[in-house]
Structure 1
């Protein structure tokens, strides 16, 4: 099995992130011919305010990033691990990863359980749990 990973520096510009992800995925497929391609966590959007993160969230399977990944997996006949994206489920938000098979079917979904909350030595805090809920085991 050939595996390729995409590394990228995502920002609070979802359209630019999706365009960059698409370019890097195309390059990985052309160079590596993987059976499985994996994207990084929060590849579609990171940073910004709580409200901006919530606006970037998608209802699966109708969201733009979800649809892009599904179609990419189908078109290139590969398994695709969609890093993670902000998912909206009703009024709740999650940091969710999705896996697609070679036909573009969703075969796995995981909502992150162990969220990243930290206070750095200089006193700055980052609390993922402030804007997404924990998944269930």
Structure 2
């Protein structure tokens, strides 16, 4: 892909797309995402968008390392493989508010930004710390 910024300069980079089979099991989804990210990064991809609703039934508190295994796994994988990861979406619990959140991690593993959609169907979600 060639990215152009107002005709001033061009930057060429390779993007990979990860489409995962989603399981009801959180650990299975995280393992599948990790395997796909590692495979795609070995192919020379520098940006990897993941699917929406990576984890469907478990809200995570992104501020708590032990309460948010997916957030910290994606951050760590971005750092280890020096890639940008667009992390699909994960139910995020922030205080008493619930969001469907997509996080973007840079090659240094740092959070570059996140997009939150208000989660309206709270009945199907429960907070779990796995």
TM-score bucket (shorter structure): 0.7 to 0.9
Give the structure 2 partner of residue 124 of structure 1: none
TM-fit CA distance, 1:131: 1.9
Q: 2:121 aligns with which of 102, 106, 130?
A: 130
Give the structure 1 partner of residue 106 of structure 2: 101
Give the structure 1 partner of residue 117 of structure 2: 112
The TM-score, its normalising length taken from structure 2, stands at 0.77
Give the structure 2 partner of residue 81 of structure 1: 86
Task: List per-residue Cα deviations over 1:45-72 (Å, max 9, x = no partner).
Answer: 23xxxxxx2xx11111421000000000
TM-fit CA distance, 1:91: 1.3
Task: List per-residue Cα deviations over 1:84-137 (Å, max 9, x = no partner).
Answer: 111000111110000011100101110025xxxxxxxxxxxxxx62229xxxxx
Aligned equivalents of 1:92, 1:129: Cα separation in 2:
10
Task: List per-residue Cα deviations over 1:8-46 (Å, max 9, x = no partner).
Answer: 12122101100011111111112x211111110011x23
Secondary structure, aligned partner of 1:23: helix
Give the structure 1 partner of residue 62 of structure 2: 60
Give the structure 2 partner of residue 17 of structure 1: 29
Runs of 4+ in structure 1 over 6 Å off: none
Aligned equivalents of 2:40, 2:45: Cα separation in 1:
8
Aligned equivalents of 2:112, 2:37: Cα separation in 1:
20
Structure 1, unaligned runs of 5 or more: 47-52, 114-127, 133-137
